[in-house]
Amino acid sequence: MLLEFSCSNHRSIRDAILFSAMAGTDKTHSENVQNIADIEVLRASVIYGANGSGKSNFIDAIAFVKNLVLNSINHQPGQGILQVPHKLEGYNQKSNYTMQFIVDGVRYVFSFSIKNMLVEEEYLYYFPNGRQTKIYERLGETYSAGRNFRYRFNNCKDVLKPNRLMLSCAANFSSVDEVASVYRFFDDELVIYNSENQDNWMNYSLHQINTNEQIKATVLKLLDALGTGIKDIHVAIKQEDLDDLHLSPFLSDEFKKILLQKKVDAISAKVLYERFETDLISEESTGIQKLFGLLCPLVCIMVNGKVLVCDELESNLHEALLFKLVEQFVSTRGNKPAQMIFTTHETGLLNLDLFRRDQIWFTELKAADRSTDLFSLTEIRNVRKDENFGKGYISGKYGAIPMLNLDFAKLLAKM
């Protein structure tokens, strides 16, 4: 589970921001809290904010850390780290990233900083028996291993470069169990959902429904609990030759020939209701399509205890459906605790029937430099527990809403 994430100098995020999923003193909604490694951890958190306030950049920063851990080992000499700093800071100022998380009941802290597109500092600690213990610390191209890890990273010396993370090198060229656990967290247990991978999730879902009867049964139960009226879904997947008419004319004939020798999946999916059926791709709404794309990965995340970080979960989903989806996620208990952190504009989720105050976060642009600030509802004074949070958010009581005083009628009258 993710405990904390902080970063600075990343896109609209200039000064350091801190997100925490560790539970506060609020005693409501005990089902939203999981005790793991003697830490009370929130199983879901929601982030609100105006368009352009930095919600997506917060998600992007987490995705950036994940991608750099997994892929920096492939960076070639002279290749810089592709990261976008804040406009007023630039590449010659440090960009810092720190993440605390729990894997297999053990707490870890991983941190690194980038300057001029290269790694400047990095460290990895863990907390066996509750005590902070160094696994390694790195400065530039030199590193020091903790007392229990001496000589364990010798194979990394020749592959550690300024454009590669030590974690990425150690995971590939050493056999340290703690490093393997941390790498597995980023590779498999930290799941990022955004507009770029929606098609992949749909493809995964339809293949799972077609081949895994248990997954299909669970998805149908969730669809029934969400009140969709869907009774069944029939998926057929056939291997067909690729049609050369769909290939770009800019491809070489040789490359086209290679592609045409491969088979592609032709997928059809029929959604069955009480009295009729529809074609999922051509006849169903974008909301139902997104729901099918989400459910199988969500089932996998809930059953296997993973962390879902999602940008604009509400896109194409009705407010009531979104509410039930989040409610189902929080109430479902698998063998390992699952966790969801997502951004949204949907104010219907801003109520105490679903979330505690420490689960609700906001992003807002600072007036001085248009940089992102991040804060939780618990940091705002004079907020009653019985308050209508949705109404308070829309009225601008918590900040994070732009142009509240703009009178469009007067503005148009002047045109």
pLDDT at 366: 92
Q: Are strands 2-7 and 263-272 parallel, antiparallel or unpaired?
A: unpaired
- In terms of residues, how long is the chain? 415
Instruction: Decide: residue 134, CB within 10 A, 0-12 exposed, 13-18 middle, 19+ buried.
Output: middle
Query: In the structure, what pLDDT confidence band is assigned to residue 287 with cuts at 50, 70 and 90?
Result: confident
Asked if 42 and 7 count as a contact pair (C-beta separation under 8 A), the reply is no
Query: In the structure, what pLDDT confidence band is assigned to residue 346 with cuts at 50, 70 and 90?
Result: confident
Helix, strand, or coil here: 279?
strand
Query: In the structure, what pLDDT confidence band is assigned to residue 323 with cuts at 50, 70 and 90?
Result: confident
Give the dihedral sign, CA 325/104/187/33. Answer: positive
Query: In the structure, what pLDDT confidence band is assigned to residue 245 with cuts at 50, 70 and 90?
Result: low
Q: Output the average pLDDT for the chain.
A: 87
For the ranges 44-48, 127-131, 226-230, 264-268, the lowest mean pLDDT is seen at 264-268
More confident: 275 or 317 = 275
pLDDT tens-digit profile of 97-156? 999 999 999 999 999 999 999 999 999 999 998 899 999 999 999 999 999 999 999 999
Asked if 236 and 267 count as a contact pair (C-beta separation under 8 A), the reply is yes
More confident: 209 or 248 = 209
Short-list 13, 207, 213, CA closest to 98: 13
For the ranges 4-8, 44-48, 185-189, 398-402, the lowest mean pLDDT is seen at 398-402
Residue 389 amino acid letter:
F
For the ranges 36-50, 76-90, 125-139, 386-400, the lowest mean pLDDT is seen at 386-400
pLDDT at 14: 97
Answer whether CATH 3.40.1350 is correct for domain 1-194+311-405: no
For the ranges 227-236, 263-272, 285-294, the lowest mean pLDDT is seen at 263-272
pLDDT at 390: 59
- Give how far Cα 182 sits from Cα of 101, 118, 123, 325, Å: 9, 22, 12, 29
The single residue listed with the structure tokens 């308050």 is: 387
Q: What is the mean pLDDT of residues 269-296?
A: 91
pLDDT at 359: 95
- Is a pLDDT exceeding 80 seen at residue 398? no
Q: What angle do CA 180, 119, 369 make, to 5 degrees?
A: 120
- Is a pLDDT exceeding 70 seen at residue 219? yes
Q: What is the mean pLDDT of residues 355-384?
A: 89
Q: Outline which parts of the chain fall under CATH 3.40.50.
A: 1-194+311-405
Which helix (H) or strand (E) segment is 188 a member of?
A: none
pLDDT at 350: 78
**Percent of the chain residues past pLDDT 70, beyond the cut:** 84
Which segments of 185-307 does DSSP mark as H helices, in order? 198-211, 213-225, 253-260, 286-304
Q: Which residues contact 276 (CB under 8 A, 6 or more apart)?
A: none
pLDDT tens-digit profile of 159-205? 999 999 999 999 999 999 999 999 999 999 999 987 677 668 888 89
The structure's pTM equals 0.87
Asked if 147 and 135 count as a contact pair (C-beta separation under 8 A), the reply is no
Please give the Cα distance from 275 to 120 (Å, whole number).
63
pLDDT at 384: 63
pLDDT tens-digit profile of 67-107? 999 999 999 999 999 999 999 999 999 999 999 999 999 99
Please give the Cα distance from 150 to 142 (Å, whole number).
14
Which helix (H) or strand (E) segment is 142 a member of?
A: strand 142-145
pLDDT at 392: 60
Helix, strand, or coil here: 252?
coil
pLDDT at 173: 96
Query: In the structure, what pLDDT confidence band is assigned to residue 48 with cuts at 50, 70 and 90?
Result: very high
pLDDT at 385: 63
pLDDT at 230: 95
Among 10-14, 201-205, 317-321, 383-387, top mean pLDDT goes to 10-14
The CA R_g of the chain, rounded to the nearest whole Å, is 24
- Give how far Cα 121 sits from Cα of 115, 166, 414, Å: 9, 10, 55
Short-list 112, 98, 107, CA closest to 181: 107
Paired tokens of 369: 């430099």
Q: What is the mean pLDDT of residues 338-366?
A: 88
